[in-house]
């Protein structure tokens, strides 16, 4: 019965009860979260799935072989992890690939050889490998310790020699001082003897002797009194500043250069208007003094510009000829023999191969070419690094694995820097030879604090930067030494013959594109695709979003049709195509203008109609409001007239002489009596009532 795994546990196939138990255990491992495991089944097994099943069985066999060696696959929370089973049976994680102490990565290349061996024999082999690795590490540690002891002894000897030299120099200085003091003492004694002789002579009358004028020396030394300890600190600082200013003025007038360890002397040509520094290689150092001084005339103008040409290439590159085998890689070592740190930039471009810097990550596919590799390394004195050139299969074989706790900013898989560009797809490779070129540049006395990140990381093709060192010449790429090395193939096999045929086809296609204006240009080791205009000027392509640059990207799909045509005929065709595209854009612009004008007219007409409708509505509303006001005024007038008429028709209230009635009548009668007006006129005294109204309200008579 076969064993299977589920969420970190194993169960026997064919025993459902044991399977249910292990599923329950897997549930408990997931921190009490609900889970449901569902198995998948194939409905109909076709030939394609039969092939997949055979491949699955082969993979399972390979996994079983690896498990015998200790490389185990474990499922944790439904995620498969590769773990290591130690000799004692404990399962643990792999340490990092960079960790040399982990022997778990040591495994045979072909696991099928282990099928004939038993588990005990495999354990013995693993134990032996572990012991061998431990012994190797011990030897390496011992060698490192011995080298450290040797270096320490050398350092001791050098320090002892330096001390002896310093003591010898001190002794010589003391002897010189004693000699000077002795000479000064003898001079004083002679002066005393002379004064005694003069005193013995008869006294002469005093005569004033004219003192000769002091002659000023052309090279006057700085004579400033040293600062006294009693002076305040402000005066001391002022004196120090004066000393510095005077020393600077003197050094400007005198150009001095000492012999350096690189055996280069810079000679100043004082008879020209400008100062030039000419490197002179010293053949015999004993012929030249330790210091060369050539003073220029004080009236001549001086320029501080350095030489425009780069200096000699001082880095050591081994081997001198880069001959690469058809299979495998070539290791190129670069060493810094100078006494200062330098930043090394490596540009590699080849149709056959790729490059990798051991221990560093390489920037790939810079510029327009997908075959270019670029890297930079900071080298200290006597430090070195290696380049591996090869990888004809377009893949890095020794690519580092993405292990657990991997920093994402230094991992190839996280940064997506893996290379998978076959030579047949390297269409923008622009060199004449398919083997390619290796370009090495370096920058001495690197100032990592002041230098900008662009120049420090990306390379010399970036150009000058204002943020870099205050000396602008330090960041100029044209003033740094460079070495260009061609690559060569050792033996041309059938595979490389195919690559060469593909290279020739790509070069022909590039020539066809160049006739249409699409040119490949190499600038500082980086290939860039540019455009050749009709007048022959080479420039960058325009923006695709602009209509004026459409004709630059206009190129026929099949360029083989134009092989029989001459360059002049192709130029005519390009001009015609350009004119057609320009006419097309003009027509489109005119149509767009017409459409815009028509749309503007339509919008204006709509606005006019809307304004007229709004005015009509406003006028109608105003008329309605006026009518409503007039009707309201008329109604108010009518109401006022009715009120006045009603008032005129009301009778005068008569003087009521109501006699007191009896108690019975008072109880029967209501408490108040409302007198309602009636149309009937009073029978008695009508004239008297009219006269009373006239007298009472004269306005009513007017009405």
The terminus-to-terminus CA distance of the chain in angstroms comes to 131
- Residue 403 CA to residue 515 CA, distance in Å, equals 50
Give me 189's structure tokens.
């004694």
Q: Is 529 helix (H, G, I), strand (E, B) or coil?
A: strand
- Residue 174 CA to residue 556 CA, distance in Å, equals 89
CA 454 to chain centre: 8
Q: In the predicted model, is pLDDT for residue 90 greater than 60? A: yes
Q: Which whole-number Å values give the CA distances from 256 to 273, 366, 596, in the listed order?
A: 18, 45, 76
Sheet of 372-379: strands edge to edge? 322-324, 482-489, 437-444, 342-349, 372-379, 363-364
The number of residues making up the chain comes to 703
Segment 414-435, tens digit of pLDDT: 444 445 566 777 778 888 888 9
pLDDT greater at residue 334 or residue 38: 334
Mean predicted confidence (pLDDT) in 253-271: 39
Segment 185-242, tens digit of pLDDT: 777 676 665 655 555 555 544 444 445 444 444 444 444 444 444 444 455 566 666 6
Domain final residue pick, 131, 154, 173: 131
Domain final residue pick, 131, 155, 181: 131
User: How many domains does the structure of the chain reveal?
Assistant: 4
Question: Are residue 252 and residue 347 in the same domain, yes or no?
Answer: no
In a domain, 378, yes or no: yes
CA 465 to chain centre: 15
Q: Which whole-number Å values give the CA distances from 509 to 437, 503, 513, in the listed order?
A: 21, 10, 6
Q: In the predicted model, is pLDDT for residue 511 greater than 60? A: yes
Segment 489-501, tens digit of pLDDT: 988 888 888 889 9
Contact 505, 499 (CB under 8 A): no
Question: Are residue 381 and residue 432 in the same domain, yes or no?
Answer: yes
**Average pLDDT value for the chain:** 69
In a domain, 456, yes or no: yes
Instruction: Name beta bridge partners: 561.
Output: none
Contact 661, 669 (CB under 8 A): yes
Predicted local confidence at residue 221, as pLDDT: 42
In a domain, 334, yes or no: yes
Question: Are residue 288 and residue 323 in the same domain, yes or no?
Answer: no
CA quadruple 47, 48, 50, 55: dihedral positive or negative?
A: positive
- Residue 442 CA to residue 430 CA, distance in Å, equals 24
Longest CA pairwise span in the chain (Å): 185
Phi, psi (deg, nearest 5) at residue 236 = -60, -45
Question: Are residue 111 and residue 45 in the same domain, yes or no?
Answer: yes
In a domain, 665, yes or no: no
Q: Which whole-number Å values give the CA distances from 166 to 159, 160, 161, 170, 171, in the listed order?
A: 10, 10, 9, 6, 9
- Residue 614 CA to residue 540 CA, distance in Å, equals 57
Predicted local confidence at residue 664, as pLDDT: 45
- Residue 429 CA to residue 351 CA, distance in Å, equals 7
- Which stretches of 281-439 are DSSP H helices? 412-415
- Residue 231 CA to residue 18 CA, distance in Å, equals 97
Give me 415's structure tokens.
């940064």
- Which stretches of 213-301 are DSSP H helices? 233-253
Question: Are residue 282 and residue 392 in the same domain, yes or no?
Answer: no
Question: Are residue 479 and residue 517 in the same domain, yes or no?
Answer: yes
Q: What is the DSSP string of 287-322?
A: GS-SEEEEEPPTTS-------SS------EEESSSE
Mean predicted confidence (pLDDT) in 458-465: 38
Question: Are residue 376 and residue 254 in the same domain, yes or no?
Answer: no
Report for 24-28, 241-245, 475-479, 580-584: range of highest mean pLDDT: 580-584
Contact 129, 106 (CB under 8 A): yes
Segment 637-648, tens digit of pLDDT: 888 887 777 766
Q: In the predicted model, is pLDDT for residue 462 greater than 60? A: no
Question: Are residue 449 and residue 552 in the same domain, yes or no?
Answer: no
In a domain, 139, yes or no: no
Q: In the predicted model, is pLDDT for residue 484 greater than 70? A: yes
- Residue 593 CA to residue 600 CA, distance in Å, equals 10
| pTM for this model (two decimals) | 0.40
CA angle 29, 32, 34 (to 5 degrees): 105
The b/e string for 309-337 (b: 16+ C-beta within 10 A; e otherwise) is: eeeeeebebeeeebebeeeebbebebebe
Q: Which whole-number Å values give the CA distances from 281 to 268, 278, 631, in the listed order?
A: 15, 10, 119
Domain final residue pick, 488, 505, 532: 532
Segment 668-698, tens digit of pLDDT: 444 444 444 444 444 444 454 544 444 455 5
Q: What percent of the chain has pLDDT over 70?
A: 55
DSSP class of residue 226 equals P
CA 412 to chain centre: 17
Predicted local confidence at residue 317, as pLDDT: 92
Question: Are residue 579 and residue 516 in the same domain, yes or no?
Answer: no
By residue range, what is the domain housing residue 599?
A: 542-607
In a domain, 574, yes or no: yes
Segment 310-368, tens digit of pLDDT: 678 889 999 989 999 888 888 999 999 988 888 898 888 888 888 888 766 666 656 67
Question: Are residue 407 and residue 509 in the same domain, yes or no?
Answer: yes
- Residue 376: CB atoms within 10 Å: 20
Q: Name the band, by pLDDT with cuts 50, 70 and 90, for residue 18.
A: low
Give me 699's structure tokens.
């306005």
Q: In the predicted model, is pLDDT for residue 398 greater than 60? A: no
Question: Are residue 331 and residue 443 in the same domain, yes or no?
Answer: yes
- Residue 23 CA to residue 34 CA, distance in Å, equals 12
The b/e string for 496-535 (b: 16+ C-beta within 10 A; e otherwise) is: beebbebbeebbeebebbebbbbbbebebbbbbbebbeee
Mean predicted confidence (pLDDT) in 373-397: 79
Question: Are residue 37 and residue 61 in the same domain, yes or no?
Answer: yes
Give the closest residue to 96 by CA, choosing from 401, 414, 539.
401
- Residue 248: CB atoms within 10 Å: 9
Contact 290, 349 (CB under 8 A): no
In a domain, 613, yes or no: no
In a domain, 400, yes or no: yes
């Amino acid at each position: 019965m076969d064993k299977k795994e589920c969420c970190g546990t194993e169960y026997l196939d064919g025993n459902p009860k044991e399977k249910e138990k292990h599923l329950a255990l897997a549930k408990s491992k997931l921190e009490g979260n609900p889970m449901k495991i569902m198995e998948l089944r194939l409905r109909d097994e076709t030939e394609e799935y039969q092939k997949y099943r055979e491949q699955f069985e082969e993979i399972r066999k390979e996994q079983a072989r690896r498990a015998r060696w200790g490389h185990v696959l474990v499922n944790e929370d439904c995620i498969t992890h590769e773990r290591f089973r130690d000799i004692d049976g404990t399962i643990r994680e792999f340490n990092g690939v960079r960790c040399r102490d982990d022997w778990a990565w040591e495994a045979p290349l072909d696991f099928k050889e282990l099928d004939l061996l038993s588990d005990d024999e495999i354990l013995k082999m693993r134990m032996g490998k572990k012991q061998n690795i431990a012994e190797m590490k011990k030897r390496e540690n011992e060698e490192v310790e011995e080298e450290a002891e040797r270096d320490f002894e050398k350092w001791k000897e050098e320090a002892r020699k330096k001390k002896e030299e310093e003591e010898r120099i001190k002794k010589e200085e003391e002897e010189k001082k004693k000699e000077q003091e002795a000479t000064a003492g003898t001079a004083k004694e002679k002066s005393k003897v002379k004064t005694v002789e003069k005193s013995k002579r008869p006294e002469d009358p005093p005569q004033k002797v004219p003192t000769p004028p002091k002659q000023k020396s052309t090279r006057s030394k700085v004579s400033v009194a040293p600062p006294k300890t009693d002076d305040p600190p402000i005066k001391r600082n002022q004196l120090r500043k004066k000393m510095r200013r005077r020393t600077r003025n003197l050094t400007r007038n005198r150009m001095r250069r000492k012999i350096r360890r690189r055996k280069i002397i810079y000679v100043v040509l004082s008879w020209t208007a400008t100062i030039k520094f000419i490197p002179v290689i010293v053949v015999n150092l004993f012929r030249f003094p330790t210091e060369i001084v050539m003073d220029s005339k004080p009236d001549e103008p001086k320029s501080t510009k350095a030489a425009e040409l780069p200096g000699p290439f001082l880095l050591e590159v081994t081997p001198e000829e880069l001959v690469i085998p058809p299979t495998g890689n070539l290791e190129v070592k670069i060493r810094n023999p100078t006494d200062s740190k330098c930043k090394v930039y490596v540009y590699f471009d080849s149709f056959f191969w790729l490059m990798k810097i051991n221990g560093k990550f390489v920037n790939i596919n810079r510029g327009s070419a997908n075959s270019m590799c670029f890297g930079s390394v900071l080298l200290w004195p006597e430090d070195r690094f290696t380049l591996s050139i090869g990888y004809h299969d377009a893949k890095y074989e020794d690519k580092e694995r993405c292990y657990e706790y991997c920093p994402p900013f230094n991992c190839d898989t996280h940064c997506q820097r893996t290379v998978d560009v076959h030579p047949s797809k390297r269409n923008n490779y622009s060199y004449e030879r398919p083997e390619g070129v290796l370009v090495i540049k370096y920058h001495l006395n690197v100032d990592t604090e002041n230098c900008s990140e662009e120049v420090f990381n990306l390379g010399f093709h970036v150009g000058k930067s204002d943020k870099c060192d205050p000396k602008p010449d330090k960041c100029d790429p044209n003033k740094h030494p460079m070495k260009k090395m061609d690559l060569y193939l050792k033996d041309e096999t059938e595979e490389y013959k195919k690559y060469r045929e593909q290279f020739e086809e790509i070069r022909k296609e590039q020539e066809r594109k160049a006739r249409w204006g699409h040119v490949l240009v190499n600038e500082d080791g980086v290939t860039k695709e540019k455009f050749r205009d009709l007048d022959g000027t080479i420039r960058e392509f325009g923006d695709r979003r602009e209509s004026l640059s459409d004709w630059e990207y206009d190129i026929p799909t099949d360029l083989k049709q134009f092989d029989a045509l001459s360059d002049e005929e192709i130029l005519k065709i390009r001009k015609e195509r350009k004119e057609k595209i320009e006419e097309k854009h003009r027509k489109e612009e005119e149509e767009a203008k017409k459409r815009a004008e028509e749309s503007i007219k339509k919008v204006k007409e709509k606005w006019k109609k809307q304004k007229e409708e709004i005015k009509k509505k406003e006028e109608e509303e105003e008329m309605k409001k006026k009518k409503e006001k007039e009707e309201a005024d008329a109604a108010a007038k009518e109401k006022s007239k009715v009120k006045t008429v009603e008032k005129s028709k009301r009778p005068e209230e008569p003087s009521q002489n109501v006699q007191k009635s009896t108690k019975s009548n008072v109880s029967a009668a209501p408490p108040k009596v409302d007198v309602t007006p009636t149309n009937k006129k009073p029978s008695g005294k009508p004239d008297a009532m009219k006269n009373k109204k006239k007298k009472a309200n004269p306005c009513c008579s007017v009405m």
